[in-house]
Amino acid sequence: MTAVAEPDGVARSIDPGVVAGMLDEVYAVCRDDTSGSPADYIPELAAVAPDSFGLCLATADGLVYAVGDTGIEFTIQSISKPFTYALALVDRGLAGVAEHIDVEPSGEPFNEISLEPDTQRPSNPMINSGAITAASLIHGRDAADKFERVRRCYSRFAGRELQMNQAVYESEARTGYRNRAIGYMLRSVGIIDVDPDDAVDRYFRQCSIEITCADLAVMAATLADNGVNPRTGERALSTALTERVLSVMTTCGMYNAAGDWVTTVGLPAKSGVGGGIIAVLPGQIGISVYSPRLDGQGNSVRGVAACRELSRRLELHFCHVTRSARTAIRADYSVAQVPSRSRRSPEDAEVLAAHGDRARVYELHGDLLFAGAERAVRAIESKVGALDALVIDLRRVGEVSAVARGMLDALQTELVRGGSRVALVDPDAKLGHEASSLDPGDPRGRVFIDRDTAAEWCEDIILDLHRPPGQRAQTSIGLDEHPLLAGLDAGYRTRLAADFEPRTFARGELIADRGDPRSGLYLILDGRVRATFSGTDGRVHRLLTLSAGMSFGEIPMLIGEPFMYEISAETTVRVAVMPPDVFDQLTEGHPRLKLALLQRLAAGAYEQMAATVRTLSGNAGNY
C-alpha cells in the first residue's frame, strides 16, 4: 500500500495503482539490504531508527507517490549544498560565484579541503569547502537575516516552511572542528572574504534543517520543473540557474562515486549523511529516498540501490534513448490533394487540379527542439522555388524552443526570398506573430487560426497566378444563370423565377442559426456564405463556404427539420429565396417541376458529400 499525497496537500491511502505498484516493488527489492551504519559523528545522527526507509517520486504536475517512512523528519545535511549554491548564484551571479568556487569533480572524499593549486578555489560547491564558501556568499543584513534567507529558499523548494533542528545544530557546532579548519583555511587564502566563523555557522545551520522524504521529492521535482515548485506554482529558481545547479550535481553530487553514479543511475543527484538522497530527471520527475545506513562513501546504501533500480526500471538514465529524433512534420500535402472547404466553380476547380501542387500545407507536431526542427526546415526548404504558397500548421506543436523559433523565422525569410507566399496556422501565437501581416513581402506573413482558411488563401493565390487570361472568378450571376434553373426548359424556368424573392445580407450577418426552423430555399447570386459549427474545442469551425451558383436551406425545406449549423454571410451576399409555403405548394401544383428541382438539389447534395469524403480521406489518419 502506498500513500499518495494529492496536489491539494491531503495525503490519503489508495489502492496501489500501476505506478505505486512499481514503487512498491522497488521498495521491497531494496528493503532487505541492512548493511552499513548511520552517521555517528554526533549523537543526534546516531540516534535515528537505522532501518527507516522511505521512497518518493514526485511528478512534474506535483503528485507525490510515497512508500514507507516518508513522513519522518531528519536533517538535510549535505543535500543542502545545491540549494545554498543556488541562492549564492541568485545573490552573486554565475561569474561572481565562479570567482570563489569551481565546478570540477574532485575525485576525493567530501571533507577534503580540495583547493585548486593555482586559484585556491574549492573544486566544487558539493564538497564541504565549496559549500562553506557558498554559505559565505549569501546576502543579508546580518547573520540571522542571511540564514533566514537560506531557510526561506529551501522552503520555497519544499513548498512548506522548514525549520532547523536546534539540537543537531548545537551538536554540529560543538564538534565541527574540521569544518572550522576549512573555513579558516579558505579565509587565509582569500576565498572567503567575510568572518569564516559566520560562514561555517551558517553551514552548520543549513545542514540542520529538517525535512521529510516527501519534502525532498518536491524539492527534486522543483529542480526537474525548471525551478518552479510544481505544487505551489512558485518559482524557486530561474531556469538558467536551475540548469547550472543540475549540471554540478551531475558531476559532483555523489562525492567520489560520481562516475559510478553517472554510469548506473545517470541522473543529477545529491546525498547527505542524514540518509537522504535526491535525484532529478530534468523536465520529468524528482526522486527522494531516506534510509540512514550509509556506505563507505557516505551515501545511503538503500538510497543508492533504490535510485539504481528506479533508473533501470523506469528508464530514466539521461543517455538512454528511446528513439532518435524524427522530423517535426506530421503530414504534408498539396491543396490539390486536400482542398479547402471552399466550394469552387468548375472552371476554378480545374485550375486548382492542374496547379494545386504549387501550394502545400505542412503540419508540424510535437515539441520543437533543434533536431526535429532541423528535419522539418530541411524538408520545407528543399521546395524553395517550387511553391507559390505554403502553409505551416503549428496547431499540434507543443512547446517551441527559442532555437526552433529562430529557425522557422529564418525559413520564412528564405521562402519569401524564393518567391513563395507563406502563412502560419498558429492560433496561440507560438511563434510570437501576434498579428497577420498583409504585406506579401513581409516574411512574418499571414497568420490564420484554422488550416482550412489558410488552405483557401493558398488556393486563391494559385487561382490568381494560374487562371487562364480572360477567365475571371465568377462572383455574380443572374437568377436565370443559376445552375438550379439554368438547365430547366424556358417555361419551367420563368414560372419558378417568379416564385423567388431577392434578399441581401451584410458581411458577417447571420442568415440562419443552428436550430432555426426552415426559412426557404436559398440560391446564391453574389458573394460568399459560410456554414460553421462549434467544435468540442470551443472554437468555431468552417464546414463549407458556398459562393455564387450554389444553394442552401434545401434539406430543412424538404423535411421540415431545423438548420443543422449556422449560416452567415462571409461577404455582402445577394440571394434569391423561395419561401417555404411556395415550395410546399409546388407539390400539388407542379409535381414534375418540383421533381426536376429535387433532382438538381440531389446533385448539389452529392457534390457536398463528395467534398466531405475528400476531406475525410485527407484526414484518414485521424479516424
**Per-residue mark of binding to its own copies, 272-291 (x: CB under 8 A):** ---------xxxxx------
- The CB-of-101 to its own copies minimum distance in angstroms stands at 11
In 3D, which of 235, 237, 256, 254 has the Cα closest to residue 245?
Answer: 237
Q: Which is nearer to its own copies, 174 or 378 (CB)?
A: 378
Closest C-alpha to 547, from 576, 565, 523, 566: 523
Cα R_g (the chain), whole angstroms: 35
Is the separation of the CB atoms in 184 and 192 below 8 Å?
A: no
Residue 15 C-beta: closest distance to its own copies, Å: 8
Is 78 noted as a catalytic residue in this protein?
Answer: yes
Question: What are φ and ψ of residue 322, in 5° steps?
Answer: -75, -40
User: If binding is defined by CB under 8 A, does position 543 make contact with its own copies?
Assistant: yes
The string of DSSP letters for 579-596 reads -HHHHHHHHHH-HHHHHH
Please tell me whether residue 21 binds its own copies under the rule CB under 8 A: yes
**94-127 core/surface letters (b: 16 or more CB in 10 A; e: else):** eeebeebbbbebbeeebebbbbeeeeebbbbbbb
Asked whether position 230 contacts its own copies by CB under 8 A, the answer is yes
SS (H, E, C) 531-577: EEEECCCCCEEEEEEEECCCEECHHHHHHCCCCCCEEEECCCEEEEE
Q: How far is the CB of 515 from its own copies (least distance, A)?
A: 12
**String of contacts with its own copies for each residue 359-398, x by CB under 8 A:** -------xx-xxx--xx-xx--x-------------x--x
Q: Is 27 annotated as a binding residue?
A: no
Q: Under rule CB under 8 A, which residues in 156-195 are in contact with its own copies?
A: none
37 binds its own copies (CB under 8 A): no
User: Which of these segments, 133-141, 235-243, 353-361, 436-444, binds its own copies (CB under 8 A)?
Assistant: 235-243
CA–CA separation, 290 and 56 (whole Å) = 9
Q: Is 78 annotated as a binding residue?
A: yes
Q: Is 255 a catalytic residue?
A: yes
How many binding residues for its own copies (CB under 8 A)? 125
The reply to whether 128 sits in an annotated binding site is yes
* Closest approach of its own copies to the CB of residue 553, in Å: 12
> Contact region for its own copies (CB under 8 A) — 39-47, 58-66, 203-211, 429-437?
58-66
Comparison of 146 and 341: residue with beta carbon closer to its own copies? 341
* Closer by beta carbon to its own copies, 78 or else 171: 78
C-alpha dist (Å) from residue 334 to 121, 270, 417, 520, 617: 62, 53, 21, 37, 14
If one asks whether residue 495 binds its own copies (CB under 8 A), the answer comes out as no
CA proximity to 523, closest of 541, 497, 559: 497
Say which amino acid occupies 619. Answer: N
Binding residues for its own copies restricted to 312-351, rule: CB under 8 A: 313-326, 333, 337-338
- Is residue 97 within 8 A of residue 139, CB to CB? The reply is no
Site for its own copies in 242-261 (CB under 8 A): 242-244, 246-248, 250-252, 256-260
**Region label for 36, one of left (φ > 0), alpha (ψ between -120 and 50) or beta (otherwise):** left
**Closest approach of its own copies to the CB of residue 506, in Å:** 26
Name the one residue in this structure whose C-alpha cell is 529551501.
154
Single out the segment in contact with its own copies by CB under 8 A; choices: 34-42, 44-52, 352-360, 604-612: 604-612
The mark string for 563-592 relative to its own copies (x by CB under 8 A, - otherwise) is -xx---------------------x---xx
Residue from the set 239, 471, 504, 585 that interacts with its own copies by CB under 8 A: 239
How buried is 11 (Cβ within 10 angstroms: 0-12 exposed, 13-18 middle, 19+ buried)?
middle
Active-site residue (options: 27, 154, 255, 522) = 255
Question: Which CB, 28 or 595, lies closer to its own copies?
Answer: 595
The CB density around residue 205, as the number of other CB atoms within 10 Å, is 23
Residue of 26, 65, 81, 245 marked catalytic: 81
Minimum distance from residue 149 beta carbon to its own copies (Å): 24
Active site residue 430: no
Nearer to its own copies, 80 or 226 (CB): 226
Q: How far apart are CA 83 and CA 241, in angstroms?
A: 11
Please state, in angstroms and rounded to a whole number, the distance separating the CA atoms of residues 27 and 31: 6
Q: Is 81 a catalytic residue?
A: yes
Count the helix, strand and coil residues of the chain and give each as a percent rounded to the nearest 5: 45, 20, 35
Question: Does residue number 537 form part of the binding site for its own copies (CB under 8 A)?
Answer: yes
Q: Name 12's Cβ contacts closer than 8 Å, sequence gap at least 6.
A: 3, 4, 6
CB of 313 to its own copies, least distance (A): 6
Out of 27, 85, 169, 203, pick the active-site residue: 203
Residues 396-455 within binding reach of its own copies (CB under 8 A): 398-399, 401-403, 406-407, 410-411, 414, 450-452
524: Cβ–Cβ under 8 A, 6 or more apart, which residues? 546, 547, 548, 549, 550, 551, 552, 573, 574, 575
Q: CB of residue 144 vs its own copies: minimum separation in angstroms?
A: 32
**Min separation Cβ 166 and its own copies, Å:** 36
- 203 carries an active-site annotation: yes
> Which of 2, 70, 77, 106 touches its own copies (CB under 8 A)?
106
172 belongs to an annotated ligand binding site: yes
The catalytic residues are 78, 81, 203, 255, 273
Mark the binding-site residues for substrate, compressed into ranges.
78, 128, 172, 179, 203, 255, 273
